[in-house]
Amino acid sequence: MIKELATGLGVTLGQFFKKPVTLQYPNEKLVMFPRFRGLHILARHEDGLERCVGCELCAVACPADAIFVKAAENDPDRPSSHGERYAERYEINMLRCIFCGMCEEACPEDAIFLEKDYELADYRREAFIYTKDELLVGEEKAGYLPVR
Amino acid sequence: MSAKVRVTINGRTVEVPAGTLVTDAARAAEVHIPVFCSHAKLPPLGACRICLVEIGLPRKDRDGKPVLGADGGPEIAWNPKPQTGCTTPVSEGMVVATDSPVAVKARKGTMEFLLVNHPLDCPVCDEGGECQLQDLAFAFGADFSRMSDAKRTFVSENLGPVVKKEANRCIVCMRCVRYCDEIMGEDALTPHRRGVRTEISSFDRQPLDCEQCGNCVEVCPVGALTALPYRFKARPWDLRQHITICPWCSNGCSVRLGVRGTEILRARGTERRGVNQEYLCVRGRFGYGFVNDAARLTGALVRPPGAAGAGNALEPASFEEAVAHAAARLREIAARDGADAIAFLGGEKLGLEEQYLFQKLARAVLGTNHVDSRTRLVAPLPGTAFLKATGGGRPSISLDELGRTKEVLVLGDDLQGESPFLQAVLLRGQHQQGVHLTVAHPRRVKLARARFGGVWLGLAPGSELALLNGLTRAALDLGDPLPAPSGGPPPAEVAAGLPALRTALAAWTPERAAQATGVPAAAIVAAARRLREAPSRAIVFGRAYAEHAQAAALLQAVENLGWATGALTAGRSCVLYAGPHSGTQGALDMGLAPDVLPGYVPLADAAARAPFEKQWNAKLGAAPGLTAPEILAAAAAGRVKALWIVGDEWVRSAPDRALVEQALARAELVIVSDLFLTETARRAHVVFPAVSFAEKEGVLVDCERRLQRTARALAPRRGAKSDGEIFQAVARALGAAWSYRTNEDVFREIARLVPGYEGLSWATLLPLGPQWASEPARVAASLRPAADERPAAGEGLWLLSGGVLFQQGSLGHRIELLTRLAGAACARFHPDEWKRLGLTAGDAVLLEGPGGSLTLPVAVDESVPPGAVFVPYAHRDVELNRLGSPGGAGLRVKASKAGIAQRTGV
């Protein structure tokens, strides 16, 4: 019996000398794996134009029907995207989203990615409708594509 | 008719008529053969080759007997090469394989070939999601491309305000070019260059100068032609599709509305569905914008008693308040001045059930017979006038059969503006079925163009009656009216009237008719002979005759001609009235006329009236009420004190503007139900907000008397009520015990009560309802001389008016695209008249009629005859009824130059 007790305590004591697994969230944050699926981003080309052309394939692929896209025609002098079409409105309802990644899978333009941000709690329901302004990456991240 | 043959497709044996194409036989066998260039309304072409299949025929020996194989069945001789299914007719014993290695390889090769130059821009292409090429590439194509060279590219173009062309995506199936030529008669599209560089575009690459119908977009199987008004608006999976009936004319086209959220984003036809299938005209395809217009009424408005004016404006009220106010005022007027002081007008744009309720409200609840839907009439006509002219309710032919009728006489209407689908039916018939067209119209309208091979009887304005008399006389010279298809004699009334008619028409020799009309005598005789002797013939007339000052005589003359030529008796023949609105026929069927109850039951007939009195629990007056022109005069004179105008811009549609303004000012109570605060509604005391065609369901009866279901595509605009709900609310406030929950309840009552509609139910009207008919005829025929030669009112130029394609009624003014396409309203003159008046481009002209004047920009137009001026009536800027009511054979106006045009555009 003594032997078993010692073995058990040994395991416990052994843990004292290992690096702790627990993080002091929110002071410390976990680095997510490359293929983690969190809040979406809409990426930009190297020239700063939006990759999204508003084709709505993400919306039709979405099993939770969480994505709304309304396309419009580009102003040829001040285009938003390559080509004639861009997403005038792009909204994701994060209360419905199940983070399955089908939108990313469906996107023919490599425009939408599920990124690492998982801190999505809020106090108002409206805040969970992420608009294009919130999803589109800044100009400084032009050309950025997440590593997969 | 034709022999049946047995074909085996992928092991399934079907029996189809000889001459059926392999692709159609495959559809019967429920085997899918893909097609691009093949189209149900176009002859086979075999341009795209995607329908390649392997075809075999039973091998025959020298005696013509089938050779039997080892298994005892006939031995099949397979054609060494795959053949196109869309051009190959079936034959007895044919065996088709769509899944054999040869067929699969051929299809895959064709697919790869079609995709050699097709760009991979599906994400930005509007066709994506409903593209046949996309679907077939997914189903049959390879998942990689062997092509590494640069693709051939073209520049994309806007072909006018409707069509966007992206030639890179074109697979040169030629559907658009052939549809435009053979069915629209426009020939606006053409291929440029040859081979791989073929590009479809307009002639000279100018914006398309055509009807802008958008049917080229509809038939395009890929995204080469897309519609600019729908550009990037939505994907097909975003849209809820609702098939309903187009509200723009009486042809009854099925229209498929695509709705996203609460907005209609597009309207399309549907292949193999409805009378029109995929065809829609520009109004039907792009004329839905008024439904989502922000200016629509969203609540009732009530004006305190007294005249309209400052300090006595329309004020918003709740629906219940408005109903209570209207009912109280109606009750007060009925008690004080009698029910005859109340008149009900309009209703040609309502559904059948609402039309029924409207007249029931008038007759059973209020007790007035002053009910008339035909607010544009100049001459008072009995409610049976149009039915009588078209044979009294005998079985009519369908529009589909009309397209196969050998001789068609079009009287007085420019079908391009009034009934675009009817025109397309005739043009397709002319091109593909050998229909011969005779067009009697003062102007050389589209149907009368030389390229359609018809005959144009360019009669002098005002001589319509002379031409009809001349034609009837020439037809009667060829013999007595033809017997009925059953072999029996024509109705007794016809035989009885014949001698008197012959006597009266004795004077109308071809020479005299020629002198009166300006049409050569030989042309009149030849037209009568063609009508009389063709294997099948049809006579088409519309609002030009219905709204003519001599309408009563003209309709009698049309009927005479119908009997004399056999159009009313012979098989596959008819006289067709193409009325102006979607509910014109239904309104007459439902008794929205002062002298008939629903089903054309005469009010004077006590026995026939009894079932209605029993069902409605009311005593009906036997005396006919006033017709619309009489109501107009009576209201202006103060005899009619209360008016209910439903869905009608009476200020613009009544024949005399001054009189209608006087009538509305004089009336103590004007109730208007409409979508918008129209000019008429502004003069009302109670305005009810109504819902549009897309927000209610019911039944419409089209010009071939076909009953069709309409569907609700949208929830009603907040605050708006359907006309049926409005009528029911007022009827209940007046003490009637109406309890219809839906329009279907109303239709059940109609089917119980109305002769001709017995046994029908909503369920029997899908997908395509029946054409109602009654044998013996509902209205007795008559042959009576129709000689009514009154001179035209006024002096100067004849005023010719007519519909234009891009505008129709006040709702059209709400649609930006149609207004833009219609352009400015112009008074159009023949070059001779133009010279005589000393006009130059940019001038304006002052037209003075007996009732007032109108200033309009001018245009020169060779299709207008000398001595006349053409003014379209439907433009916003044109209020033709300001010139006064036409009298006699028409209206004459004085034209004088009035300086520079103030308004050059709309």
| Beta-carbon separation of A71 and B232 below 8 A | yes
Dig out the tokens for B696 from the structure.
């209610």
Residue pair B229/B816 in contact by the 8 Å Cβ criterion: no
Dig out the tokens for B35 from the structure.
């097609």
Q: Which pLDDT does position A1 carry in this prediction? A: 85
Dig out the tokens for B857 from the structure.
């920009």
The strand pairing partners of B225, in sequence order, are B165
| Beta-carbon separation of B123 and A53 below 8 A | yes
Chain segment B69-80, per-residue pLDDT in tens: 888 888 999 999
Chain segment B690-712, per-residue pLDDT in tens: 999 999 999 999 999 999 999 99
Dig out the tokens for B12 from the structure.
């399934």
**CATH 3.40.50.740 spans which residues of chain B?**
318-376+584-759
Q: Which pLDDT does position B413 carry in this prediction? A: 92
User: Which one, of B451, B541, B468, lies nearest residue B504 by Cα?
Assistant: B468
Contacts of B121 in chain A (CB under 8 A): 83
Judge whether residue B785 has pLDDT over 80: yes
For residue A106, the chain B residue with the least C-alpha distance is B123
Kindly tell me the burial class for residue B245, based on how many C-beta atoms sit within 10 Å of its own C-beta (0-12, 13-18, 19 or more). Answer: buried
| Beta-carbon separation of A73 and B129 below 8 A | no
| Beta-carbon separation of A56 and B237 below 8 A | yes
Nearest CA of chain A to the CA of B130: how many Å? 13
The lowest-confidence range among B117-121, B366-370, B683-687, B884-888 is: B884-888
Q: Could you give the angle at the alpha carbon of B228 between the alpha carbons of A103 and B188, nearest 5°?
A: 135
Give the H or E element holding residue B190. strand B189-192
Query: Distance of CA B112 to CAs B50, B82, B120, B133, B622, Å?
Result: 10, 16, 13, 11, 75
Contacts of B237 in chain A (CB under 8 A): 56, 60
For residue B230, the chain A residue with the least C-alpha distance is A72
Pick from A53, A56, A73: CB nearest B235 = A56
Torsion of CA B517, B519, B525, B528, to 10 degrees: -70
| Beta-carbon separation of A85 and B123 below 8 A | yes
Q: Which pLDDT does position B778 carry in this prediction? A: 86
Overall fold of domain B148-292: Alpha-Beta Plaits (3.30.70)
What integer is the mean pLDDT of B292-313? 82
Contacts of B129 in chain A (CB under 8 A): 60
Judge whether residue B905 has pLDDT over 60: no
Report, at the CATH architecture level, how domain B318-376+584-759 is classified.
Answer: 3-Layer(aba) Sandwich (3.40)
Share of chain B above pLDDT 90, in %: 83
Judge whether residue B456 has pLDDT over 90: yes
pLDDT band of residue B730 (cuts 50, 70, 90) is very high
User: Which one, of B156, B775, B678, B52, lies nearest residue A74 by Cα?
Assistant: B156
What integer is the mean pLDDT of B254-281? 94
CA B410 to chain centre: 15
Domains, in order of start, for chain A: 21-141 (3.30.70.3270)
Q: Which pLDDT does position B334 carry in this prediction? A: 96
| Beta-carbon separation of A83 and B129 below 8 A | no
The strand pairing partners of B829, in sequence order, are B860, B869
| Beta-carbon separation of B123 and A60 below 8 A | no
| Beta-carbon separation of B121 and A83 below 8 A | yes
SS3 A139: helix
**CATH 2.40.40.20 spans which residues of chain B?**
797-900
Query: Residue B770: what residue type?
Result: P
| Beta-carbon separation of A55 and B123 below 8 A | yes
- Among A52, A75, A85, most B C-beta atoms within 10 A, so best to mutate, is A85
Query: Distance of CA A66 to CAs A69, A94, A102, B68, B145, Å?
Result: 10, 7, 11, 63, 34
Judge whether residue B906 has pLDDT over 50: no
Q: Which pLDDT does position A137 carry in this prediction? A: 96
Residue pair B32/B9 in contact by the 8 Å Cβ criterion: no
The strand pairing partners of B84, in sequence order, are B52
List, in sequence order, the alpha helices (H) in B429-480.
464-477
Dig out the tokens for A42 from the structure.
């809409």
Judge whether residue A125 has pLDDT over 90: yes
Q: Could you give the angle at the alpha carbon of A128 between the alpha carbons of A122 and A129, nearest 5°?
A: 155
Q: Could you give the angle at the alpha carbon of B613 between the alpha carbons of B610 and B614, nearest 5°?
A: 85
User: Which one, of B699, B735, B692, B732, lies nearest residue B715 by Cα?
Assistant: B692
Residue pair B670/B302 in contact by the 8 Å Cβ criterion: no
Judge whether residue B307 has pLDDT over 70: no
Q: Could you give the angle at the alpha carbon of B370 between the alpha carbons of B620 and B549, nearest 5°?
A: 135
Q: Which pLDDT does position B751 carry in this prediction? A: 95
Pick from B124, B237, B238: CB nearest A53 = B124
Distance CA B833, CA B839 (A): 9
Judge whether residue B552 has pLDDT over 50: yes
Query: Residue B321: what residue type?
Result: E
| Beta-carbon separation of A60 and B235 below 8 A | yes
Chain segment B126-183, per-residue pLDDT in tens: 999 999 999 989 887 778 889 889 999 999 999 999 999 999 999 999 999 999 999 9
Q: How many CB atoms lie within 10 A of CB A23?
A: 10
pLDDT band of residue A103 (cuts 50, 70, 90) is very high
Torsion of CA B376, B380, B382, B386, to 10 degrees: -50
Query: Residue A30: what residue type?
Result: L
Q: What are phi and psi of A70, to 5 degrees?
A: -125, 115
Name, in order, each residue with C-beta under 8 angstroms of B626's C-beta and a sequence gap of 6 or more. B343, B370, B372, B594, B634, B640
Q: Which pLDDT does position B904 carry in this prediction? A: 42
Q: Which residue has the tokens 């009149």?
A: B524
Q: Which residue has the tokens 């392999």?
A: B22
Dig out the tokens for B619 from the structure.
């005593």
Say which CATH class B797-900 falls into.
Answer: mainly beta
What integer is the mean pLDDT of B801-825? 92
Distance CA B567, CA B528 (A): 11
Judge whether residue B488 has pLDDT over 70: no
Name, in order, each residue with C-beta under 8 angstroms of B732's C-beta and a sequence gap of 6 or more. B738
Cis peptide before A26 (omega within 30 of 0): yes
The pTM of the whole model exceeds 0.90:
yes
Nearest CA of chain B to the CA of A123: how many Å? 28
Name, in order, each residue with C-beta under 8 angstroms of A34's C-beta and a sequence gap of 6 or more. A146, A147, A148
* Total H helices, total E strands in chain B: 28, 36
Q: What is the spatial order of strands in the sheet that A129-130 belongs to? A: A67-73, A85-93, A129-130
Nearest CA of chain A to the CA of B265: how many Å? 12
- DSSP calls for B588-636: HHTT-BTTEETTTEETT-HHHHHHHHHHHTSPPPSS----HHHHHHHHH
Distance CA A115, CA B30 (A): 47
pLDDT band of residue B484 (cuts 50, 70, 90) is low
Q: Which pLDDT does position B306 carry in this prediction? A: 60
| Beta-carbon separation of A108 and B233 below 8 A | no
Distance CA B117, CA B761 (A): 53
Distance CA B872, CA B206 (A): 26
| Beta-carbon separation of B128 and A55 below 8 A | yes
Say which CATH class B4-114 falls into.
Answer: alpha beta
Name, in order, each residue with C-beta under 8 angstroms of B200's C-beta and a sequence gap of 6 or more. B165, B167, B170, B172, B174, B176, B177, B189, B190, B191, B192, B224, B225
Please report how the helices B521-533 and B551-565 are oriented relative to each other, as an axis angle in degrees rounded to 10: 60
Nearest CA of chain A to the CA of B233: how many Å? 6
Chain segment A61-75, per-residue pLDDT in tens: 999 999 999 999 999
Q: Which pLDDT does position B479 carry in this prediction? A: 86
Q: Which pLDDT does position B481 carry in this prediction? A: 77
Taking an 8 Å Cβ-Cβ cutoff, which residues of chain B contact chain A? Answer: 121-124, 128-129, 231-235, 237-238
Please report how the helices B132-140 and B101-114 are oriented relative to each other, as an axis angle in degrees rounded to 10: 130
Q: Which pLDDT does position B888 carry in this prediction? A: 83
Pick from B121, B124, B237: CB nearest A60 = B237
Cis peptide before B785 (omega within 30 of 0): no
What integer is the mean pLDDT of B17-38? 95
Nearest CA of chain B to the CA of A68: how many Å? 10
pLDDT band of residue B310 (cuts 50, 70, 90) is low
Overall fold of domain B385-578: Dimethylsulfoxide Reductase; domain 2 (3.40.228)
The strand pairing partners of B192, in sequence order, are B199
- Among A51, A52, A53, A56, most B C-beta atoms within 10 A, so best to mutate, is A56
What integer is the mean pLDDT of A98-123? 95
Mean pLDDT of chain B: 92
| Beta-carbon separation of B123 and A108 below 8 A | yes
**CATH 3.10.20.740 spans which residues of chain B?**
4-114
- Among B121, B122, B124, B157, most A C-beta atoms within 10 A, so best to mutate, is B124
Cis peptide before B594 (omega within 30 of 0): no
Residue pair B340/B653 in contact by the 8 Å Cβ criterion: no
For residue B120, the chain A residue with the least C-alpha distance is A108
> Hey, which bits of B618-769 come out as E strands?
642-646, 669-674, 686-689, 698-701, 707-710
User: Which one, of B330, B818, B817, B247, lies nearest residue B586 by Cα?
Assistant: B247
Kindly tell me the burial class for residue B460, based on how many C-beta atoms sit within 10 Å of its own C-beta (0-12, 13-18, 19 or more). Answer: buried
Kindly tell me the burial class for residue B515, based on how many C-beta atoms sit within 10 Å of its own C-beta (0-12, 13-18, 19 or more). Answer: middle
User: Which one, of B489, B477, B539, B547, lies nearest residue B513 by Cα?
Assistant: B477
Dig out the tokens for B391 from the structure.
């044979």
**What is the ipTM, given to two decimal places?**
0.87
Name, in order, each residue with C-beta under 8 angstroms of B566's C-beta and a sequence gap of 6 or more. B481, B482, B531, B532, B537, B573
First-to-final CA distance of chain B: 55
Share of chain B above pLDDT 70, in %: 97
Judge whether residue B487 has pLDDT over 60: no
